[in-house]
Amino acid sequence: MTCEELIAHLSSYIDHEMDAALVAEVQEHIAHCRNCRVVLDTTQRLIVLVHDEGQRIIPAGQRSALFERLHQAFLNRPQTSDDSAV
Amino acid sequence: MNDESALIDGLRQRDPQAFTTFFETYADRVYRLAYSIVSNESDAEEAVQATFISALEAIDRFEHHARLGTWLYRIAYNHALMILRRRRPEESLPDEDDALPMPSALADWSTLPEDRLLSREAQAILRKAIAGLPTTLRAAFVCRDIEGLSTADCAQIIGISEGALKVRLHRARLILRERISEYFGEWVTPGNG
């Protein structure tokens, strides 16, 4: 496996979407290629780091105002034809 | 009947408690997805509002074979894109047939201590790099690597094939890795990298 091929398959390897024969080729390559090993390690580290970005939430003041607006819209929702038939 | 079916039935019957559960379960997730597209709080809030209004209007027609979260994210993605196009109509989309650039930033920052990588400065660098990705790549990256949804769900939300989703995700990761390696690489002591 060349460096170009390894880079092309990097995400498949990280996401465990690669068949066993290719996995073995990747592992053999990175055992000998420092640069590809760094690219793999830093990409995996990046993916772990960005999970923290998943903590963003709606700012509290806006959240309650948004809830109130949508709650009113929900309660005032027009009846559908199916509902009115009941 | 599972929890999701009960929630959908509650929404159809205008049960206020069902609305509260619906909002509490999904509002922040929808906000994060929308924020990742529009990159500012007020537009992300507008997208959340539009998403919930659209969803509540369409809930009577929701089909149970779909998953509620995936369906809602798809609505959110489309609203966020509409808002973005209103703000930035000139943005061009990356050509996904272009050859992948080979990585050139090769400092090994992966072994830097956790407190360094999770510092406020590092997080700001990361957020800026994510915000700088082209929209199509950013959406794939946020959906898979930040929200942690499956490839199949993300493909459905964005409205592309799983293969196309994987291509976008891969490009996004390589671009991001390159950009943040340019910053983090400076923190690696020569000889340790």
Q: What is the CATH number of domain B114-187?
A: 1.10.10.10
Across the interface, whether the CB atoms of A35 and B106 are under 8 A apart is answered yes
pLDDT for B64 beyond 80? no
List pLDDT tens digits, range A15-69: 999 999 999 999 999 999 999 999 999 999 999 888 766 677 899 889 999 999 9
Structure tokens at B47: 């997208």
User: So where are chain B's domains?
Assistant: 3-87, 114-187
Eight-class DSSP state of B14: T
CA B94, distance to chain mean position in Å, is 17
Q: Which fold has domain B3-87?
A: Rna Polymerase Sigma Factor; Chain: A (1.10.1740)
| Beta carbons of B155 and B161 less than 8 angstroms apart | yes
Structure tokens at B181: 């390696």
- SS3 for chain A, per residue? CCHHHHHHHHHHHHCCCCCHHHHHHHHHHHHHCHHHHHHHHHHHHHHHHHHHHHHCCCCHHHHHHHHHHHHHHHHCCCCCHHHHHC
Q: State how far residue B90 is from chain A, nearest Cα, in angstroms.
A: 27
Question: Which has more confidence, B16 or B90?
Answer: B16
List pLDDT tens digits, range B6-35: 999 999 999 999 999 999 999 999 999 999
Nearest to B173 among A11, A52, A80 (CB): A11
Nearest to B45 among A3, A4, A62 (CB): A62
List pLDDT tens digits, range B100-118: 778 999 999 999 998 888 8
Residues of chain A in Cβ contact (below 8 Å) with chain B: 3-4, 7-8, 10-12, 15, 17, 35, 38-39, 41-47, 49-54, 56-59, 62-63, 66-67, 69-71, 73-75, 77, 80, 82-83
ipTM comes to: 0.84
- For residues B158-181, give the mean pLDDT: 95
